[in-house]
C-alpha cells in the first residue's frame, strides 16, 4: 500500500483564510505555475490544502509520465496518485519521511521564513518505457494564509540534470533557497516529539501484535482510550493502518 496517505489531518490545524480571500491569491498562483512550467519544463503540482484540490501543470517533462502537455488539470485531492504509482515503493516511503520532517521543521520557523525552504531528492520512477529512472523531486510552500498557516504546496518533477553517482536512498535534503544552506536529512530530529509517551507505549505494543483489548488491560485504560490513541497515531504519522504506522515510526526512530 502506498505509504503516503494524507497530510490533511495535520493541515486541518493550519489557519486558513475565508474562501473569498483565497480565491484571488489562488488564481494568481495558478497563473504563476502555468508560466513556470514553460520555463522549467517540469511537471508541477499545486496543492490547495484548504479545498483539498490540486492543479497539475505539465511542461515538457510531462512526456516522461505520458501526460498531455497542452494545459493543466484539476483533481479533487492534494495527492497526485497517478504519479505516485510510478515511483519505486521504497523511494515513495523515504519521500514520505522527508515530507514529514519538512512539515515539522517548517513549524519551528516564523511564517515569513517558511517560504524560503524547499526539499530536494532523487527518486526512482517508471519512465514511458516502464523502466525505473532516477528523477529530481522538489517541494516547497508557495503561500501562507494571511494568518500564517501553510496553504499552497508545490511539488515539482523533472529530469535529474547531473551525472549519475552512487546514491544511498533518495539523498533527501532541506534547502534554504535564499541562502543556499543545505541540510542533509538522514535523521528526523523535528519528528522526535511527534508522538506522546503514551502513544509510543501503545504503538510498541501494537508492533508486538497486541490487540486493543489486551493493550487496554496492560495499560489499565479503557479500550475507547486505546482506540482514540490509535487514531491519533495514524493521523500524526499520516498513514492508513497500524502496519504502516509501526514502519514509519521505526524509520523515524520514535520507538527506540
Work out the angle between the directed axes of helices 197-207 and 212-219 (0-180°, nearest 10). 130
Cα Rg, the chain, nearest whole Å? 19
- For residue 165, the model assigns a pLDDT of 63
CB-CB contact of 249 with 191 (8 Å): no
**Helix or strand (DSSP H, E) at 124:** strand 117-126
Structural domains of the chain, ranges and CATH numbers in brackets? 8-184 (3.30.450.20), 193-251 (1.10.10.10)
Distance CA 148, CA 110 (A): 8
Q: 10 Å Cβ neighbour count for 189?
A: 14
Query: What pTM value is reported for the model?
Result: 0.84
- For residue 32, the model assigns a pLDDT of 94
- For residue 240, the model assigns a pLDDT of 84
- For residue 6, the model assigns a pLDDT of 39
pLDDT < 70: residue spans in the chain = 1-19, 163-167
Cell numbers 523515524 correspond to 252
CB-CB contact of 58 with 156 (8 Å): no
- For residue 17, the model assigns a pLDDT of 55
HSE-up of 222 (CA within 13 Å, CB side)? 3
- For residue 141, the model assigns a pLDDT of 94
- For residue 167, the model assigns a pLDDT of 65
Amino acid at each position: 500500500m502506498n505509504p503516503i496517505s494524507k497530510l490533511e489531518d495535520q493541515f486541518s490545524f493550519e489557519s486558513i483564510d475565508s474562501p473569498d480571500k483565497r480565491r484571488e491569491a489562488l488564481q494568481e498562483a495558478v497563473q504563476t505555475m502555468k508560466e513556470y512550467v514553460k520555463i522549467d519544463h517540469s511537471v508541477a503540482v499545486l496543492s490547495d490544502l484548504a479545498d483539498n484540490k490540486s492543479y497539475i501543470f505539465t511542461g515538457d517533462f510531462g512526456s516522461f509520465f505520458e501526460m498531455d502537455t497542452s494545459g493543466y488539470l484539476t483533481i479533487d485531492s492534494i495527492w497526485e496518485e497517478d504519479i505516485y504509482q510510478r515511483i519505486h515503493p521504497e523511494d515513495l516511503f523515504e519521500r514520505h519521511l522527508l515530507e514529514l520532517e519538512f512539515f515539522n521543521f517548517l513549524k519551528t520557523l516564523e511564517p515569513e521564513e517558511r517560504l524560503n525552504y524547499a526539499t530536494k531528492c532523487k527518486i526512482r520512477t517508471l519512465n514511458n518505457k516502464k523502466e525505473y529512472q532516477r528523477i529530481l523531486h522538489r517541494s516547497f510552500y508557495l503561500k501562507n494564509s494571511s494568518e500564517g498557516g501553510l496553504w499552497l504546496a508545490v511539488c515539482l518533477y523533472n529530469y535529474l540534470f547531473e551525472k549519475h553517482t552512487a546514491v544511498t536512498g533518495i539523498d533527501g535534503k532541506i534547502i534554504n533557497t535564499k541562502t543556499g544552506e543545505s541540510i542533509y536529512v538522514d535523521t528526523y530530529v523535528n519528528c522526535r516529539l511527534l508522538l506522546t509517551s503514551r502513544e509510543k507505549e501503545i504503538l510498541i505494543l501494537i508492533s508486538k501484535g497486541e490487540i486493543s483489548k489486551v493493550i487496554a488491560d496492560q495499560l489499565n485504560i479503557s479500550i475507547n482510550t486505546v482506540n482514540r490513541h490509535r487514531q491519533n497515531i495514524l493521523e500524526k504519522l499520516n498513514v492508513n493502518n497500524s502496519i504502516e504506522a509501526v514502519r514509519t515510526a521505526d524509520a523515524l526512530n520514535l520507538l527506540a
